[in-house]
Amino acid sequence: MRRVYLDHSATTPVRPEVLEAMLPFLKDEAFGNPSTIYSYGREAKKALDEAREKVASLIGARPEEIFFTSGGTEADNLALIGTAAANEKKGRHIITSSIEHHAVLHTAQYLMRHGFKITFLPVTPEGLVRVEDVEEAITDETILISVMHVNNEVGTIQPIKEIGHLARERGIIFHTDAVQSVGKIPVNVDELNVDLLSASSHKIYGPKGVGCLYIRKGTRINPILHGGAQERKRRPGTENMPGIVGFGRAAELAGQELDSEMERLKGLRDKLIDGIMNRIEDVQLNGDREKRVATNANFSFRYVEGESLLLSLDMKGICASSGSACTSGSLDPSHVLLAMGIPHEVAHGSVRMTLGRDNTEADIDYVLEVMPEIVARLRSMSPLYNQR
Ligand SMILES: *Cc1c(COP(=O)(O)O)cnc(C)c1O
């Protein structure tokens, strides 16, 4: 059966070039610990430095401002908890949005239980944070603002540059979770006015279990793990060499191919969106139509259960998701769609399709061919649809 993978925001396959770069570090060829002084160690240290340069280059940072972590989740935890711990004498107020990934949302809730005051900003019906709302939420106690660059569920691109400008004027540390923007749109830490930025390897065709936090020089932040002096004492533990080398190679390739690949995917995305909207009734596109990454389409089908739709798509070999991978399996509708003011019953019928390198025009044709039949069949079994 044909298989169409449309869940690239959940994870991506490791590119062959990336695997090739990693292999020596998984074998006895290059197993050294980069903290040691003999040849194996020096070789590892050199590869570590090169990977750091490649990741730094993708986001316009200096290599010494990149701190490797076990992924996007750890980077977000370090950004929030590390900043809170280092700045709590200055104030105990943090501003974030209500549509963040759980790695930020649940970390903010954890800090709330430990005496920090958190503002969860609302969003517009299109899923955008308003800069005016950020400005209004700032108090003398505010030490950190954390707003994601691109939302993982609806693909909206947030006004990071403007929020960063505001934060800098007020002397507040600014973090962005850029896991879904890096490799999809140009990301430059200076242009965006950010002090902290999270990225993850497995969302850009690198291996899972590795990511980084960019920390602008001079930013006050404490480590959250304690141990050795690795990563300039910000993140102890012997480095995940195969992972970091793979992440570096993935970052290098993402930078080289960004423009051409995103132009191509935008064409496929628009074909998918227009095709679904034209072929099926009672469907809405979630998220802003323009301020949106080239890879994301998110629809709500009225009178359809999202989970049933996903199962039917799976039977046709189409891999999609109901929002974030982390919430699939639970029947609660997405916190992002609810924050956008989408009613529960509509949010329940939502499907996210996220495009990537392996997708072709024929994949979209196939989805557009099978989707109307599936939706019609599910609706024919829905009492609500028949009574409408
Ligand atoms: C995937 C994702 C994360 C988590 O990254 P991991 O490397 O899987 O821990 C954080 N934020 C966003 C927006 C994501 O999409």
Residue whose Cα lies nearest atom 15 of ligand 1: it is 152
Residue whose Cα lies nearest atom 8 of ligand 1: it is 72
363 and 281 in a common domain: yes
269 and 229 in a common domain: no
262 and 248 in a common domain: no
The CA distance from 25 to 39, in Å, is 14
Supply the pLDDT for residue 332: 80
Supply the pLDDT for residue 383: 87
Domain of 296, in residue numbers: 4-11+258-386
Rounded to 5 degrees, what angle do the CA atoms 202, 205, 210 make? 30
Q: Is 324 annotated as a binding residue?
A: no
Q: Is 73 annotated as a binding residue?
A: yes
Amino acid at 255: G
pTM equals 0.97
296 and 208 in a common domain: no
299 and 224 in a common domain: no
3-state secondary structure of 327: coil
Phi and psi, residue 180, nearest 5°: -95, 5
**Tokens standing for residue 311:** 């199962």
Supply the pLDDT for residue 326: 45
Tokens 């540390």, located at residue: 173
Active site residues: 326
pLDDT digits over 76-130, tens only?
999 999 999 999 999 999 999 999 999 999 999 999 999 999 999 999 999 999 9
Q: Are 196 and 175 in contact (CB under 8 A)?
A: yes
Q: Is 77 annotated as a binding residue?
A: no
pLDDT digits over 167-213, tens only?
999 999 999 999 999 999 999 999 999 999 999 999 999 999 999 99
For residue 93, how far is its CA from the centre of ligand 1 (angstroms)? 24
380 and 247 in a common domain: no
- From 253, 281, 303, the end of a domain falls on 253
Residue whose Cα lies nearest atom 6 of ligand 1: it is 72
224 and 86 in a common domain: yes
Ligand 1, atom nearest to 201 Cα? 7
End-to-end CA distance of the chain: 36
3-state secondary structure of 362: helix
Q: What is the CATH number of the domain that holds 339?
A: 3.90.1150.10
The residues of the chain scoring below 50 in pLDDT are 325-327
Beta carbons within 8 Å of 335's beta carbon, 6+ residues apart: 98, 99, 105, 327
For residue 102, how far is its CA from the centre of ligand 1 (angstroms)? 9
- From 208, 233, 253, the end of a domain falls on 253
Pocket, ligand 1, Cβ cutoff 6 A: 71-73, 76, 101, 103, 148, 152, 177, 179-180, 200, 202-203, 211
Q: Are 175 and 195 in contact (CB under 8 A)?
A: yes
Q: Is 114 annotated as a binding residue?
A: no
Eight-class DSSP state of 353: E
The CA distance from 367 to 388, in Å, is 27
Q: What is the CATH number of the domain that holds 199?
A: 3.40.640.10
CA atoms within 13 A on the CB side of 368: 18
For residue 326, how far is its CA from the centre of ligand 1 (angstroms)? 10
For residue 318, how far is its CA from the centre of ligand 1 (angstroms)? 22
200 and 57 in a common domain: yes
23 and 57 in a common domain: yes
- From 223, 253, 283, the end of a domain falls on 253
